Chains A and B, each alone.
Chain A
């Protein structure tokens, strides 16, 4: 009862990285609340194949649902599993990836349980809350912190009276780490049919095709990003060249945001809408190339080069080549 749950997403028998990142975050929250970290995974043929990808992140108990029709993911069976499991387990917190699956599943589950859900959180913390209207005080709520209004503000959301407190988080926002402490590492394999009604398998996946990502921005310490200010395809070609010489990756704004953080982030012709900034603010070094000296992004940049992308990027390439060994 009252534990922290993380929904584990899989592609076949491969556990999604975002789920591992959330386990690490979930472990911290569970330690702070002095409760257990539980994980739930559902798939087909996963028994014996996913446990090692889940337990080392500090999981006290893993509920592994293995059955036909649970992969590829469809909404209803996975919803049934979570809703019925949560009715038994009464978790206080449930985290899932802000992925296509998490954003399909989370709202369905939250609506079934009439619990609050906050999408795309960038920070999760534990704290108190005083409701000014009801004068009620709440201890140890989950602060679900996210950019809102197109990223122009940051809102802290709480769910005072409904459980579980649910939140989704994008890939790369939290960092995964093998748990150094002691966790119980218990695994149970519940009977799927006790949780999922036969009618739930009504949506048929005819074709499921996933390509390994061409560019793994998360693994790239240097990201070169181009915005609307780039204008032309030639402009982007230049960015690819710069990324190549620096051994980095090119990311269009959104993908770079999703990537979370990197060692160096070169923003070319990006004015800096704030959802963008929320994504790359934690990069160690930010360089902004922009002809507008007042572009919002410049305020969080370490270096601002005032000039056009066409002018500056070739010079960056040229002087890098000249000065690196």
Chain B
């Protein structure tokens, strides 16, 4: 027996830290954010795929993408819609800025309460700009829901119980969890499907109100089309819209403070640079043997 599910996918726009090129650091040694493209957090895409599969298996289900960030993070909702999500919400407000994982979780949990009657909250295990893996479990705690982290596949949902295969250290585990629940998805799960051309056409000009730049072509098209196509205006929520407590949001809601940030200064050693010539390689091996580094 299948019943429709209301699924919320947590997704984050992140700088692509995996492809840090030479221009990613400024000559002063700080991070050059502009040089890093903003992308859909990879494991959140794995989560989206699991959500879309559930939607296919349980007719009538809906998938919504919830993201928090500056207005340009509306792109995450579009990317979700292009792949088959039904709706999305952008949490954006200066009061959300500077949030650590706890304040982020508070904001997301508050929005999920506002969305209401959610069966499954699903997101990536962690985001590549922080690698903390904390937001999923913290959202679960704030909502008082059970959590399954490191999920690789949702095997089935029957009688309101999800059976999930998850990665554990050195092995795998299969668990049963009653709904509603929070699931975080590991990168070893199935990759996300590509964008669907028809959906791209449909949602190309979908924008959050704050994203609309009256001078850009997209902005003009959005203004023209959204009158007759309300789905082109994406949901955009502030702290007040989700009845959030400003003291628990952003910097003021964050127990952790950054004391210092240091650029990684490579503890540059006295490197010996060698060529690939036989003489150099043999010389190195002899040196390592003499110093008993290798035996």
Contacts and interface: CB of A to CB of B under 8 A. Distances in A.
Interface string B225-257: 000000000000000000000000000001111
Interface string B254-284: 1111111111101111111111101011101
A151 interface: yes
Contacts of A316: 281, 284-285
A209 B172 CA distance: 5
Interface stretch (A19-27, A55-63, A185-193, A197-205): A197-205
Interface string A89-122: 0000000000111011111101110111111100
Contacts of B128: 150
Interface in B3-28: 15, 17-18, 20, 22, 24-25
A308 B170 contact: no
A28 to B, nearest CB: 20
Given A156-B258, A158-B256, A305 B276 contact: yes
Contact of B263 (A111, A153, A208, A286): A153
B137 A294 contact: no
Given A111-B142, A153-B263, A320 B285 contact: yes
A113 B43 CA distance: 27
Contacts of A119: 130-134
A34 interface: no
A302 interface: yes
Given A152-B20, A155-B260, A264-B294, A117 B134 contact: yes
Contacts of A207: 172-174
Interface in B171-188: 171-178
Contact of B257 (A158, A274, A308, A312): A158
Contact of A154 (B146, B174, B264): B264
B131 A120 contact: yes
A202 B161 CA distance: 11
Nearest to A98: B133
B105 interface: yes
A111 B105 contact: yes
B278 to A, nearest CB: 6
Interface string A142-166: 0110011111111111111110000
A86 to B, nearest CB: 14
A324 B289 CA distance: 7
A103 B149 contact: yes
Nearest to B132: A119
A274 B264 contact: yes
B285 A319 contact: yes
B79 interface: no
B174 A206 contact: yes
Contacts of A118: 132, 256
Given A114-B255, A151-B264, A103 B133 contact: yes
Given A100-B150, A116-B102, A303-B284, A160 B132 contact: no
A71 to B, nearest CB: 12
A72 B170 contact: no
B206 interface: no
Nearest to A293: B273
B19 to A, nearest CB: 9
B101 interface: yes
Nearest to A298: B271
Contacts of A155: 258, 260-262
Most buried by B among A75, A76, A112, A116: A75
A206 B176 contact: yes
Contact of A205 (B167, B174, B282): B174
B281 A212 contact: no
Interface of B: 15, 17-18, 20, 22, 24-25, 31, 100-102, 105, 128-138, 140-142, 146-150, 163, 167-178, 254-264, 266-276, 278, 280-282, 284-286, 288-289, 293-295
